[in-house]
Copies of this chain bind each other. A is one copy, B any other.
Amino acid sequence: MTKTELAEIYRGYIACLNSQDWTNLGQFVGDDAVHNGRRLGLSGYVAMLERDFDEIPDLYFKVLMLLGDPPYIACRLGFDCRPKAKFLGLDVNGRRRVAFSENVIYEFRDGKIVEVWSVIDKAAIESQLAGSN
C-alpha cells in the first residue's frame, strides 16, 4: 500500500471517529487491535472511544501533522475541548476549555489499524489548569 493510500485510509478513520460512527469502525480497526500495549480488540477500542466522547462531549480529532511510512502512520492530533469531569486524572470539571496535542503512531495491516502507540500531552493540560486557578 502506498503512503498516499494509507494516509487516505487514516483520514477516513479520523472522519469515522469525529462522526462517532461506531458501526463502521471495523473498516479501520482490526479485530485484535492493541492500544498502548493493551489488547482491546475492536469492541474494546469502540468502548474506549465511547468513554472518551462521554467524558468529553465536544471531542474533535484534528489532524495537525501526518506522516506516512507504510505500514506505519504517525500523526500529531490537536484537541480543543471541555472535559465535563475528570480527564487523565485531572479535575477539569467543565470549568474551562483545554487545548492539547497527541503524538501517535499506528501500524496497519490489510488496511486496518493493528497497533497504536499514543502519548497525550498531559503536562500542557496541567499547565492550563494551573493558569486558570
List residues of chain A with CB under 8 Å of any chain B CB: 3, 65, 67-69, 72, 74, 76, 88-89, 101-105, 117-123, 126
Taking CB as reference atom, which chain B residue is nearest A67?
B69
Copies of this chain present in the complex amount to 2
Given contacts A67-B72, A68-B69, A69-B3, contact A103 B118 (CB under 8 A): yes
**Which residues of the other chain, B, contact A117 by a CB distance below 8 angstroms?**
65, 76, 101, 103
Partner of A119, one of B65, B72, B101: B101
> In the complex the two chains form, what is the Cα distance from A10 to B122 in whole Å?
26
Question: Top 5 closest A-B pairs, CB basis?
Answer: A74-B74, A103-B103, A67-B69, A103-B119, A119-B119
- Report how far A76 CA is from B126 CA in the complex, Å: 23
